[in-house]
Amino acid sequence: MFGFPLISADKKHTFVLNIFLLIGLVVLQSFEPIKAYLPIEIWNVVITFLAVSVVFNLVRFITITAYRTRNKLPVGQRDNFVLGVDSLTTLAIFIVVTAAAFFIFGIAFQAVVASISLVAVALVLIFRDYISNYLDSFRLMFTADYQIGDYIRVSEFTKGFVTDISFRATKLKTDDGDVLYIPNTKLMTSEVVNYSKTKLKRIAVPFTLPTSSVTDVIAFEASLQQNVQYAFPELVADKKMFLKILNIQDWQTSFSFEVSVDQYNFSIEKQVAKCVYQYVLAEQKNIITPTSVMVQNRDK
């Protein structure tokens, strides 16, 4: 339809409906009995809104279609640029139609601004957080730092995938399936770790063993690497794992087994840590042999 195969059907249907409404209102406006029901100014405002909406949405269709074609973005999949163009289109339509309404009704815009200046200052002070979130939403929509689908950490315990960016907040979906809404201003002013931007993510699993039980560190490291690699064959390799000795004391030795993964999320980190701890406990208790641990992890 209209040569925009990469635009969703709902948006194109709305676009066509606006065109038919615009044509219908222009035709009806020529009949004197119809105009008697509503003032001519209201007719003009509605027609202006439909005309501006058609023009701006046509520009939006062309822009998004060219962007989707260049970046091979399928229909239905959104990213920051598409969100930004949609939001700018809505804002531009609102500004143009509002200015046109002032002109149609013969209202002096400067006089209105002067008369509500004190009220506007008070409103800005009251709603400054909302205004700040609104402005920061545009920065997020057109930035390359955070993209739709990125896995980020905003605080120590707040991790998840970016699923949407609105004027009020950014929507995150956690590994537990919870949906979090983080204010855009907080996201812009906080320290954020974007795991999707790193090629490798290192997972450190600390543990402590009795010093007397550590007889062969090299063999223990090799066996631990083998178990983790067997449990996650497509995730890690031998060269991406190593055992680090943190502290040696008479009664205990502290270790950290570090694994670098190509695709990271919090669920993978928990699975790797569980695999390491399971093997360490099995080795200490001698209840489960290394081979049986590998099979159990592989089955899971």
| Collapsed DSSP state (helix, strand, coil) of residue 88 | helix
* Alpha carbon separation from 87 to 53, 131, 184 (Å, rounded): 13, 15, 15
Q: Count Cα atoms within 13 angstroms, Cβ side, for 280.
A: 20
End-of-domain residue from the set 170, 197, 224? 197
* Alpha carbon separation from 187 to 137, 139, 140, 165, 171 (Å, rounded): 10, 11, 9, 11, 11
Query: Are 103 and 19 members of one domain?
Result: yes
pLDDT average, residue stretch 158-180:
85
The pLDDT score that the predictor gives to residue 291 is 38
Mean pLDDT of the chain: 79
CATH number, position 140: 2.30.30.60
The pLDDT score that the predictor gives to residue 91 is 86
CATH number, position 230: 3.30.70.380
pLDDT > 90 fraction of the chain, expressed in percent and rounded: 6
End-of-domain residue from the set 67, 82, 112? 112
What distance in Å separates the CA atoms of residue 97 and residue 209, rounded to the nearest whole number?
71
180 domain residue, yes or no = yes
Domain assignment of residue 39, given as a range: 9-112
What distance in Å separates the CA atoms of residue 54 and residue 87, rounded to the nearest whole number?
15
Query: Are 295 and 233 members of one domain?
Result: yes
Query: Are 221 and 288 members of one domain?
Result: yes
pLDDT average, residue stretch 196-207:
79
2 domain residue, yes or no = no
Query: Are 108 and 139 members of one domain?
Result: no
- The number of residues making up the chain comes to 300
* Alpha carbon separation from 142 to 38, 130, 159, 183, 205 (Å, rounded): 42, 19, 22, 17, 37
Q: pLDDT tens, 223-272? A: 888 888 888 887 776 667 889 999 888 888 899 998 887 766 667 788 88
**Which residues, 6+ apart, have CB-to-CB distance to 282 below 8 Å?**
288, 289, 290, 293
Answer whether 0.75 is exceeded by the pTM: no
76 domain residue, yes or no = yes
Query: Are 176 and 213 members of one domain?
Result: no
Query: Are 15 and 94 members of one domain?
Result: yes
3 domain residue, yes or no = no
Q: Check: CB of residue 134 under 8 Å from CB of residue 167.
A: yes
Query: Are 92 and 145 members of one domain?
Result: no
Alpha-helical segments (H) within 29-171: 32-35, 40-71, 80-104, 109-115, 117-126, 128-141
Domain total for the chain?
3
Give per-residue burial for 12-29: e unless 16+ CB within 10 Å, then b: beebeebbebbeebeeeb
**Which residues, 6+ apart, have CB-to-CB distance to 171 below 8 Å?**
162, 163, 164, 165, 179, 180, 181
**Long-range contacts: 126-134, Cβ < 8 Å, 24+?**
129/183, 129/185, 130/168, 132/184, 132/185, 133/167, 133/168, 133/169, 133/183, 133/184, 133/185, 134/167, 134/168, 134/184
84 domain residue, yes or no = yes
Higher-pLDDT residue of 49, 137 = 49
Query: Are 100 and 120 members of one domain?
Result: no
Which DSSP helix (H) or strand (E) runs through 264?
none
pLDDT average, residue stretch 214-222:
85
Q: What is the DSSP letter of 195?
A: G
End-of-domain residue from the set 141, 174, 197? 197
* Token pair 């409103």: residue: 123
Most confident of 151-160, 180-189, 231-240, 261-270: 180-189
What distance in Å separates the CA atoms of residue 285 and residue 282, rounded to the nearest whole number?
5
Q: Check: CB of residue 71 under 8 Å from CB of residue 53.
A: no
281 domain residue, yes or no = yes
254 domain residue, yes or no = yes
Query: Are 239 and 189 members of one domain?
Result: no
pLDDT average, residue stretch 168-176:
85
pLDDT > 70 fraction of the chain, expressed in percent and rounded: 80
Q: Check: CB of residue 235 under 8 Å from CB of residue 287.
A: no
4 domain residue, yes or no = no
Query: Are 169 and 239 members of one domain?
Result: no
Query: Are 208 and 293 members of one domain?
Result: yes
Query: Are 97 and 14 members of one domain?
Result: yes
Tokens of residue 169, six digits: 């907040």
Q: pLDDT tens, 1-59? A: 455 766 777 888 888 888 888 888 888 777 766 666 767 788 888 889 999 999 998 99
Report residue 123's pLDDT band, with 50, 70 and 90 as the boundaries.
Answer: low
pLDDT average, residue stretch 58-84:
82
Q: pLDDT tens, 265-298? A: 667 788 888 889 988 888 776 533 333 333 344 4
User: Count of H helices and E strands in the chain?
Assistant: 11, 8
